[in-house]
Amino acid sequence: MMAYLGAAYLWVKAAHVIFVIFLMAGLFMMPRFFIYHQQCAVGSDEDVKWIERERRLLRIILNPSIILVWVFGLMLMVEIGAWHFGWFHLKLLVVLGLSAYHGWIAGYSKKLAKGLRPMTDRQLRLLNEVPGVAAAIVVIAVIVKPF
């Protein structure tokens, strides 16, 4: 099991889980930010505050976390030869989806910063469920290994 990481394997695994937690927290928070942001007038002081909050969440938590999740995850994938396991393919598919969701979040925050409000509060509330469903699927795939 310890091909190239050796004694660092458990540290890499721990780091992967830690940054997954940070990433998921940010992915849960941002759509809620969007809901509150959309309720304020474009160009208001409150609008400016929400733009800054969203920018900081992306810059300080979400962007570094997704990079580190991928780096540590790829290290673990190589270490255990995960590509040969069916459960890993499901996990990878969900992680790719969450990465796309992260991209959508970054794009939507830019739209809000420009004064656009293309989605309803209800749509944003539904999208807020995506990380929870994804997390459940990944945890089941990795822990239960159904295939």
- Which residue ranges make up the annotated binding site for heme? 16, 91
Residues 6+ positions from 117 with CB-CB distance below 8 Å: 38, 42, 111
Q: What gap in Å lies between CA 89 and CA 97, rounded to an integer?
A: 12
Report the alpha-carbon distance of residue 77 to residue 73 in Å, rounded.
6
CA-to-CA separations, 71 to 17, 41, 64, in angstroms, rounded: 12, 40, 11
Give the residue numbers of the binding site: 16, 91
